[in-house]
Structure 1
């Protein structure tokens, strides 16, 4: 019998990444998308943090009632807002960034973490530092935003976006001896096209975590 994975996204584009990632497995993905929450958090002065926390709580409890075996959160900012102790759900909640953080924290050498969306940097790095601190791990990393690319993605020009990122990665891997990772789902396809170096991404690190949590035998 298929396992049902309820997926909460801040943008519709994440659906395709998740569907492709779990297509080899006996997992049915049920998608819930709310781009409005992050828009209000970043642009509405009258929408407070407590309002955002209540909205995320409401969303997750609604998904939990939809007969799912686990809930996947694909937006780091959603994860940062979540107050898990306030939830009254029994299904496991899987946060896309934690397997990615675990992979980063296993690296002892200096590393470079890349973003295209400046709005996700602060929340992601705050969570990474908190994760590393909770396991008493010291990590040596720098952050870089690939400028003038995320707007291309938001206009629906994914092929052009992927080409821009792949071009940037091809150049930087020639200069950088540090381990490189990309922090956003939207960057995964481009990162996989770079042949010279293995680039860590949040999707590859997520798959085994979800399969294990759902006890899928493949």
Structure 2
């Protein structure tokens, strides 16, 4: 059985990962640190603060007898550069399966965010990912303002409802464009929007299971 350490910025992400990987014979060990997002508006808050804390936590998780690390927060993935930070186990960014899906789309892409602090970093990573694969993506971000505060306050149902409404509205106003939800917390809303519009709305869980199965050689859980 593979053991995967999952690094979250909010407890609400745990259920999404548990559900996505429930079919596999894997143990998920969850590590949650909401602190960085809570202090991001402090006057002395810097990018160095984020990087130092994220790298310290990744080193701690790596020491806890796990076979791989999955970073589920786009705020955290933005500061992790696999070219400069080496670990003895794979470190997987939640964005990677979604980036791969976007690279396969042959139409303009709009990447929707709720957390303003993840926009620049995630878009930079998307273009870098596409470039490494020799792909050109026509992608632009859109921020769903005044939504992220709801999930951070534990108002999950309100968050999902509002984000779903905004996504549905956006698909109606932008025909011919592929819409992708950029954060794990947006998955339920993206699924609602997809069901109501019958249009594909990209999200992290669409391809995460297959991506990790191939990368980590996960085996399907046997029924007892």
Partner of 1:198: 200
Partner of 1:65: 63
Give how far 1:142 is off.
2.5
Partner of 1:150: 148
Change (3 A) 1:85 1:173: closer
Change (3 A) 1:200 1:44: same
Q: TM-score, normalised by structure 2?
A: 0.87
Q: 2 CA distance for matches of 1:94 and 1:107? A: 22
What secondary structure does 1:66 align onto? coil
Which stretch of structure 1 is more off in the superposition, 49-58 or 151-160? 49-58
Change (3 A) 1:62 1:136: same
Q: 2 CA distance for matches of 1:111 and 1:36? A: 32
Give how far 1:86 is off.
5.1
Give how far 1:87 is off.
4.1
Partner of 1:189: 188
Q: TM-score, normalised by structure 1?
A: 0.89
RMSD: 2.0
Which stretch of structure 1 is more off in the superposition, 44-53 or 158-167? 44-53
Q: Could you say which structure has the greater relative contact order, defined with CA pairs below 8 angstroms and 6 or more residues apart?
A: 2
Change (3 A) 1:163 1:82: same
Give how far 1:45 is off.
4.1
Q: Which runs of 5+ in 1 are unaligned?
A: none
Q: Which runs of 5+ in 2 are unaligned?
A: none
Aligned positions of 1:1-218 closer than 5 A: 2-40=1-39, 42-85=40-83, 87=85, 89-175=87-173, 176-193=175-192, 194-195=194-195, 196-218=198-220
Q: 2 CA distance for matches of 1:56 and 1:211? A: 25
Asked if the contact 1:57/1:86 (under 8 Å) is kept, the reply is: no
Asked if the contact 2:97/2:208 (under 8 Å) is kept, the reply is: yes
